């Protein structure tokens, strides 16, 4: 189903269509992704502290979606502030930005969204608190709308490397739910499907939070794109037996040299792909590229609660008090990547200059 503007919206069942996150009646509304696919709920939030909580608790997840949440969270912070002077409001916004940034450390889109809203608020042309508040809402809306168009451009670029009949291995969730709408790596799959290419997706379940089993499988089934759910450990067997043609996944941060931080397990998949002669692409908006970090070793890796590993669906599967190591992400060294697909084109090795070029092109386009 499509809106009157022709944008693709996430749909379920009886014509319920929406983006992953949006502004409505002075609230931020977002799909609670912890509950899918069992039920669809869209709670509303009216303060930035709650938005920070939704990011930390993964009510909303996926680097681009988190960036949009940061933008709307900053709008709420501006409206919560009782400041009557420009200087006081800017000080309140700096404090709110610190709270939002701290929610999750790995995804650079979170701090990118905060910084973009702060830059808008600091525009000298905005002389009063009310003018700042109005401009910030417009900026957050623009950020969200741009995300949809960026994803569509990425999809078209990436579809060029997907042959007709491709069997695609995909890790985690990178679709509409991970973005404002359409998706990054799943956006490539969607674009190829829309072009009439016959594709089939092997969907990693993606332990421990099962984003593949819960979210990616649900999205692909909604779009009637052929897919099969697999245990993470089956990926190597499929590659060795010639049943995978290309590997796609997203990223939460890309270092200047092309090292990619993505959902834990991505590194394993990339190494197996190279061993079996299969192209492996990370699909990312340029906002996820962090040229300030030289290599992936500099990317902070979030540690998540032990219960994500010891419990499944509220049922304990491990002994009480067992020691748990639960990194949310791992880093794929750039040598295992065939290319990095962005909205400004596909970057191939050597990555450093290409990443800088697409980053600068995207920033020029935005200006």
What does the alpha-carbon distance between residue 132 and residue 28 come to, in Å, rounded to a whole number?
18
For range 115-124, the mean pLDDT:
97
The end-to-end CA distance of the chain, in Å, is 32
Mean pLDDT of 273-277: 98
Q: What is the pLDDT of residue 16?
A: 43
- Could you give the C-alpha distances from 8 to 5, 148, 176, 208, in angstroms and in order? 9, 9, 9, 30
Dist. CA 359–CA 298, nearest whole Å: 19
Q: Which position has the token pair 């069992």? A: 38
Q: What would the two tokens of residue 212 be?
A: 């593949």
Tens-digit pLDDT profile for residues 137-147: 999 999 999 99
Pairing mode, strands 246-249 and 280-283: parallel
Which residue's structure tokens are 């997706």? 201
Distance CA 67, CA 89 (A): 22
Question: Tokens in use for 266?
Answer: 């991505």
| HEC sequence for the chain | CECCCCCECEEECCCEEECCEEEECCEEEECCCCCCCCCCCCCEECCHHHHHHHHHCCCCCCHHHHHHHHHHHHHHHHHHCCCCCHHHHHHHHHHHHHHHHCCCCCCHHHHHHHHHHHHHHCCCCCCCHHHHHHHHHHHHHHHHHHHHHHHHHHHHHHHCCCCCCCEEEECCCCCHHHCCCCCCHHHHHHHHHHCCCCCEEEEECCCCCCHHHHHHHHHHHHCCCCEEEECHHHHHHHHHCCCCCEEEECCCEEECCCCEEEECCHHHHHHHHHHCCCCEEEECCHHHEECCCCCHHHCCCCECCCHHHHEECCEECCCCCCCCCCECEEEECHHHCCEEEECCEEECCCHHHHHHHHHHHHHHHHC
* Closest among 308, 355, 319, 343 to 158, alpha carbons compared: 343
* pLDDT of res. 367: 82
CATH topology of domain 162-366: Rossmann fold (3.40.50)
The pLDDT assigned to 3 comes to 31
**CB neighbours (10 Å) of residue 37?**
15
What percent of the chain has pLDDT above 70?
A: 95
Look over the chain and give the mean of its residue pLDDT values, rounded to a whole number. 94
pLDDT at 359 over 50: yes
Is there a contact between 354 and 334 (Cβ–Cβ < 8 Å)? Answer: no
Provide CATH 1.20.120.420 ranges for the chain.
10-151
List the one residue out of 219, 308, 261 whose CA is nearest residue 33: 219
Distance of alpha carbon 64 from alpha carbon 112, whole angstroms: 10
* Complete edge-to-edge strand list for the sheet that includes strand 246-249: 227-230, 200-204, 167-170, 246-249, 280-283, 339-342, 345-347
At residue 75, what are phi and psi to the nearest 5 degrees? -60, -45
Predicted structure pTM score: 0.93
Share of the chain above pLDDT 90, in %: 93
* Separation in Å, CA 329 to CA 171, 274, 349: 12, 20, 23
Q: pLDDT at position 17, please?
A: 53
Please tell me the predicted confidence (pLDDT) of residue 244: 98
Once rounded to an integer, what is the mean pLDDT over residues 183-192?
A: 98
pLDDT at 288: 96
The crossing angle, in degrees rounded to 10, of helices 63-80 and 129-159 is: 170
pLDDT tens per residue, range 2-30? 232 233 444 444 344 579 999 999 999 99
Active site residues: 252
Closest by CA position to 281, among listed 161, 199, 174:
161
pLDDT given for residue 127 in this prediction? 95
One of 1.10.287.470, 2.40.160.40, 1.20.120.420, 3.30.70.1290 is the CATH number of 10-151, namely 1.20.120.420
Domain limits, CATH 3.40.50.10470, in the chain? 162-366
Q: What is the pLDDT of residues 194-251, one digit of tens each?
A: 999 999 999 999 999 999 999 999 999 999 999 999 999 999 999 999 999 999 999 9
Mean pLDDT of 153-166: 98
CA pair distance 32, 206, nearest whole angstrom: 19
């Amino acid at each position: 189903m499509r809106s009157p503007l022709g944008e693709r919206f996430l749909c379920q069942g009886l014509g319920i269509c929406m983006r992953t996150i949006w502004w409505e009646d002075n609230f931020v509304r977002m799909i609670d992704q912890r509950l899918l696919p069992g039920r669809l709920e869209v709670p509303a939030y009216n303060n930035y502290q709650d938005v920070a909580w939704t990011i930390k608790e993964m009510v909303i997840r996926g680097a681009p979606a988190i960036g949009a949440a940061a933008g709307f969270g900053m709008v709420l912070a501006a409206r919560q502030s009782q400041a009557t002077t420009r200087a006081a409001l800017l000080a309140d916004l700096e404090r709110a930005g610190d709270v939002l940034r701290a929610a999750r450390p790995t995804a650079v889109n979170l701090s990118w969204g905060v910084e973009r809203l702060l830059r808008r608020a600091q525009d000298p042309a905005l002389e009063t608190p009310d003018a700042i508040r109005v401009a910030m809402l417009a900026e957050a809306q623009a950020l969200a709308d741009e995300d949809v168009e960026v994803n569509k451009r990425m999809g078209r670029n990436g579809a060029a490397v997907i042959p007709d009949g491709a069997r695609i291995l995909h890790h985690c969730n990178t679709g509409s739910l991970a973005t404002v709408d359409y998706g990054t790596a799943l956006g490539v799959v969607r674009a190829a499907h829309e072009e009439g290419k016959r594709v089939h997706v092997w969907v990693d379940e993606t332990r421990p939070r099962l984003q593949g089993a819960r979210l990616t499988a649900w999205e692909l089934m909604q779009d009637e794109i052929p897919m099969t759910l697999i245990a993470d450990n089956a990926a190597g067997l499929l590659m060795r037996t010639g049943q995978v043609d290309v590997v796609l996944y997203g990223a939460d941060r890309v270092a200047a040299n092309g090292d990619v931080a993505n959902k834990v397990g991505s590194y394993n998949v990339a190494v197996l792909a190279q061993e079996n002669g299969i192209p492996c692409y990370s699909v990312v908006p340029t906002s996820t590229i962090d040229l300030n970090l030289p290599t992936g070793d500099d990317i902070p890796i979030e540690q998540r609660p032990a219960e994500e590993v010891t419990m499944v669906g509220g049922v304990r599967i491990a002994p009480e008090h067992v020691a748990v190591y639960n990194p949310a992400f791992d880093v794929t060294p750039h040598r295992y990547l065939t290319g990095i697909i962005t909205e400004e084109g596909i970057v191939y090795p050597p990555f450093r200059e290409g990443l800088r070029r697409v980053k600068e092109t995207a920033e020029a386009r935005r200006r």
